Amino acid sequence: MDKREQEAAELLLSQKDTFIMSWNRADGWYVVNDGCSTLKRDTMYTGGLEGLYEVVMEEDRELLHSYLQKLRSMLQSSTSEQDSGEESKRQSVSLHLKNAADTWDYYRINSYIGDGLPERVVCMIRRMSAEEVYRTQLAKGITNDKNPEYFANEAAGLLERFPDKKFALIQFDVERFKVINEQYGEETGDALLAYFVEKMKMLCTETQFYVRLSADVFMMITSYETEEGLMELIRYLNGELLGYQNIPYRLVFGVCPVTDRTAKIRRYGDGAAFARRSIKGNALKFMEFYREDMRRRAAERKFVEDNMEKALQEGQFVMYLQPKYSISGNHIVGAEALARWKHPDKGLISPACFIPAFEENGFVVKLDRYIWEQACKAIRRWIDQGITPLPVSVNVSRRHLKDGTFVDVLDALVEQYRIPKGYLEIEITETIDEDQSAEHIRKLGEHGYRLLMDDFGSGYSSLNMLKDTPFDVIKIDRGFLQDFMGSGRGQEIVRYTIQMTHAIGLDLVAEGVETKDQAEFLSDCGCDIAQGFYYAKPMPLEDFNKKMEMARKP
């Protein structure tokens, strides 16, 4: 041991209740201070820190493994040409170790590399005090909601210390984290989050800082040079954070570069959150960058969800009817019931702004039932006025097909308004092919409803599906029609699809008919019922009634 090492050892020996090991290339590992008498260290002398595997809690072994990997990486990056005045590199981890009483306690391991001794490591292991344990646990559970200044102050400090560097905020979480808690237990879920905490401690450099926001949501601020470099960092983070105890899980990352250092850091945190949420459920992407339209869409989504219950109670949702026409006879033969939202201040809100949100959050179940009842009321009113009713088709969303109780709801409405079931038709998208869904669809047919397969040709339709289908009518999707009408070969595909559908005993309705040429082509192919802007847009019930009345006049 040279003079410098001896001086360092004497300093370390003054550290009471601390177990200290040192390593250098010549001597390997050796004990400097045999303090911390409560530590069970029978195996720690052989192989240096590797011996800790035998006394560390099993749940923390992944953290120890990552710690040692990081330590080795730092050693490999050290060179003998380092300046003796270079600041030490420090690596820390908090682990549960088994003490002499065979109980588990929190221990902090600090390793120092450098400080003029680039090829030497000093490792200090000491039992954490009750206050330190408390602060460690507090740091794991801290959230921006409980302490909004915590992350913002640290991030602002980084921006101030490194004025010439570009920074970005990255937010990530575990997709469907609740499933992990349900399948493996909440203790495993908590251990996974603790693993992330310790991993992030080891991964963050001097120009990075992280915080656990809430539950499984984490955020970090990081410097970067290029967007590609930022994406590479996220791929690295993703690789480092996956694989805990072979539990399958998926991480989703949102990124928001800091473009204005005078703006509040929370704005960029929100931007990272918008980006992260925008790809939830998207199996093809695990990272996304913030775009300004995300904030607008998020505001629209919040408005929709904040006002949907009130809108339903106040009757702001209105049933519109889109006529179905006979191409050969040029008269109305039926209608499809569609939902529109007439807000007292915003006016008519596009379905594209609220239907996707309702399908995701489940409110579409309430909206569908409301439209079903409006359709039944309209049919009842026609009967009471002596008008021969036209069949009205209503949509059954995917959410209903999970339990099948919607069939009883439809039956109850038909009975309440005393209408023949033939006047209430049921439209269901063709992409539904699960066994449970198919069972509920067959039940609808058994209960006497006429079934329409909506959006045929848009997704997963196949000849095999048509072979045993319980549906009575196929609705050709607008996109299918437009895509194939542009070429001779495409037109032949449409023609033979129509002929085949008739041959197996199914009726046809063509959606999205927008031109006279399309209507005439469909009629020549044998499809007589069409629906689309060429004939009529969706309209309020009052306007539909006027069209019916005009059609009855000589």
Task: Give which of 23, 17, 227, 42 is closest to 118, Cα–Cα.
Answer: 23
Q: What angle do CA 287, 289, 293 make, to 5 degrees?
A: 130
Do you know the residue count of the chain? 554
d(CA 328, CA 238): 60
d(CA 492, CA 504): 18
Separation of alpha carbons 466 and 235, rounded Å: 44
Known active-site residue 511: yes
CA dihedral 357, 360, 366, 367 (to 10 degrees): 40
Give the number of other CB atoms < 10 A from CB of residue 37.
Answer: 10
Report phi then psi at 41, rounded to 5: -125, 30
Distance of CA 198 to the CA centre of its chain: 24
Distance CA 299, CA 296 (A): 5
Q: Is 331 exposed, middle or buried (0-12, 13-18, 19+ CB in 10 A)?
A: exposed
Among residues 481, 500, 479, 499, the alpha carbon closest in space to that of 491 is found at 481
- Cβ distance 377 to 424 under 8 Å? no
- Backbone phi, then psi, for 358, in 5-degree steps? -65, -40
**464: phi then psi, degrees, rounded to nearest 5:** -65, -35
- Interatomic CA distance for residues 492 and 427, integer angstroms: 27
Rg (CA), the chain: 34
**Residue 415 is which amino acid?**
E
Q: Which of 175, 336, 511, 520 is catalytic?
A: 511
DSSP state of 236: H
Q: Do the strands 539-540 and 331-343 form a parallel or antiparallel pair, or are they unpaired? A: unpaired
What are the distances in angstroms from CA 78 to CA 22, 81, 236, 311? Answer: 16, 9, 22, 65
Please give the positions annotated as active site.
511
